[in-house]
Amino acid sequence: MDRSLAVDLPKPAATVQVPWSVIPDYHCFGCSPHNPSGLRLAFTPHPDGLQAAFRLGRAFESYPGVVHGGLIGVICDEVMGNLIVLARNYPAFTVSQRTRFLTPLLVNHEYRCVATLSAPAPDRPIQAAAEILDGNGAVCATSTATYQRFALDDVRHQLTLGDDEVTLLSDALSAANTFSTNGVHS
């Protein structure tokens, strides 16, 4: 494998399938296995929510040997956003996000991102948080974000989905899961 791209880590047996995986050849930059230039994140349950292990190659660096900070925000957003979909059974757009960098992340080093959700509040935007941890469990970056729920039919004109894909995705979003509404795996 070209070490300049995202490095595939072994997929644990407990990998969680995201609803988007029902759409053949989906190309999400963060989680699609079909996007050769993407991050190809795989999600696993975490006692507090959802996590994804990753190691990025030189194609994702800013300063020599350092992962570009913008990608850290992308990874946090991806894990938080998919936790919302899995725990609440509906998609949500990112409204705002704030990321704090405690230490640079290095290329070709293993990290994991752990996302959690605040308790649901009716008619309020969804609050989520994430941490990037190194191999020793030290926090390297944190992120908090606000998300707004949306209905597929309401944003249909903005998405490139056919009728059959909307049906597949709607069915996947309504399927039972093992996450509570605050994202804790049960």
Q: What is the pLDDT of residue 8?
A: 53
Q: DSSP letters along 91-137, please?
A: -EEEEEEEEEESSPPBTT--EEEEEEEPPP-TTS-EEEEEEEEETTS
Here the tokens at position 114 are 């752990």
Domains and CATH numbers, the chain: 19-168 (3.10.129.10)
Here the tokens at position 47 are 């006692």
Q: What is the pLDDT of residue 1?
A: 35
pLDDT averaged per 10 residues, the chain (length 186): 48 77 89 92 94 96 96 97 93 96 97 94 92 97 96 83 86 81 76
Is residue 84 within 8 A of residue 128, CB to CB? The reply is yes
pTM above 0.75, yes or no: yes
If DSSP codes are grouped into helix, strand and coil, which group holds residue 140?
Answer: strand
Q: What is the pLDDT of residue 186?
A: 66
